[in-house]
Amino acid sequence: MLKKLLPLLFLVLGTGAGIGAGLFMGPKDEPGAHAEAGGDAHAVSGSKTKNGPDTHDDEKNAGSEFIKLNNQFVIPVVQHGRVASLVVLSLSLETGFGLRETVYEREPKIRDAFLQVLFDHANMGGFDGAFTRPEILDPLRATLLQVAKTELGDAVASVLILDIARQDN
């Protein structure tokens, strides 16, 4: 039994250590710096696309807020009637300002709908092989966005995959 719990324990500890290192090593913001920046996320990140700066994208996202869903999503990948691996994801929603409270109030329904999409993706083999390729993740993001818009309306601009890891048994 310990052999089965040990990989899961390492996954949780590794994820926690990664998050802790990211918080410790991340940029140091002064309190209130985000409010002074006017909430423009691209003022910090630079918003550069493959073809150079995209001013239309800057205007579209100027009023965006990023809302991280509270818990990670754990998706079992079943092969030959047994769990062959676990996929762990952290997701965030890009929305218009003022939806944070609404998102957290509806989070159980959002999580349920997202889990169904993620289970379907796993059952179709979406987490097999090189599962982080854009041609695999882009349709998943699009489906998650469609579900988010069903639950929250058109104020949801995108679904971001913040972390993704697969632990093979």
Residue 150 has pLDDT above 60, yes or no: yes
Residue 22: pLDDT above 80? Answer: no
User: pTM higher than 0.85 for the full model?
Assistant: no
136 belongs to a structural domain: yes
| Domain interval for residue 104 | 63-168
For residue 32, what pLDDT band results from cuts at 50, 70 and 90? very low
Of residues 47, 144, 134, the one with CA closest to residue 90: 144
Query: Is there a domain that residue 164 lies in?
Result: yes
pLDDT average, residue stretch 35-59: 41
Residue 121, domain member (yes or no): yes
The domain tally of the chain equals 1
CATH at 129: 3.30.479
Q: How many CB atoms lie within 10 A of CB 45?
A: 9
Asked if residue 129 belongs to a domain, the reply is: yes
- The C-alpha atoms of residue 29 and residue 31 are separated, in whole angstroms, by 6
Is the residue at 95 inside a domain? Answer: yes
Residue 100 lies in a domain: yes
On the question of pLDDT at 73 being above 80, the answer is yes
Residue 85 lies in a domain: yes
Angstrom distance (rounded) from CA 18 to CA 134: 23
- Return the pLDDT at 42: 37
Whether 37 is covered by a domain: the verdict is no
> What pLDDT, in 10s, does the model give residues 87-139?
999 999 999 998 999 999 999 999 999 999 999 999 999 998 888 899 989 99
Predicted pLDDT at 49: 40
- 110 against 57, higher pLDDT: 110
